[in-house]
Amino acid sequence: MSVQDFVDNKAKQLCFYLRAFWQGELPIEEIELFFWDSMEEWGQIDYTLTQPYTQKERVFWHLLHQVHYWNEDKLINDQFLVDELNNCVNFLEGLGHCPLDCVGIRP
């Protein structure tokens, strides 16, 4: 699997999980499991450090790290954070512009 295939597949899943979480349909523990499963799968991807990032990949890594870093209360109740993350989700789903403040990097 290529880096692009990995990001495309995982970005769709991450957006689905995060939207379900915000709607109260998915517990935070499922997002945490998704994070660790993604890290394990990432370890199987063959890439070089010289491969360039796409905007989509940067936004994906940023979003994934943010949902892992912040606690459940902050991910639900901090409107500034929720708006920022929602902008990332919209971009990954092809519904918005690339957020300029995403600094996602590969693990």
What pLDDT is stored for residue 103 in this prediction? 85
Q: Write down the residue that tokens 């769709």 correspond to.
A: 12
Tell me, what's the pLDDT at 18? 98
Please compute the mean of the pLDDT values over residues 61-79 and round it to a whole number: 97
Q: What pTM value is reported for the model?
A: 0.94
User: Which amino acid would we find at residue 75?
Assistant: L
Q: Is 74 helix (H, G, I), strand (E, B) or coil?
A: helix
Residue 89 confidence (pLDDT): 98
* Domain locations in the chain as residue ranges: 1-91
Tell me the per-residue pLDDT of 35-58, one tens digit each, with 9 for 90 and over.
Answer: 999 999 999 998 888 888 999 999
For 100, phi then psi, to 5°, come to: -80, -20
- Residues 80-100, mean pLDDT to the nearest whole number: 95
Report, as an integer, the average pLDDT of 4-32: 97
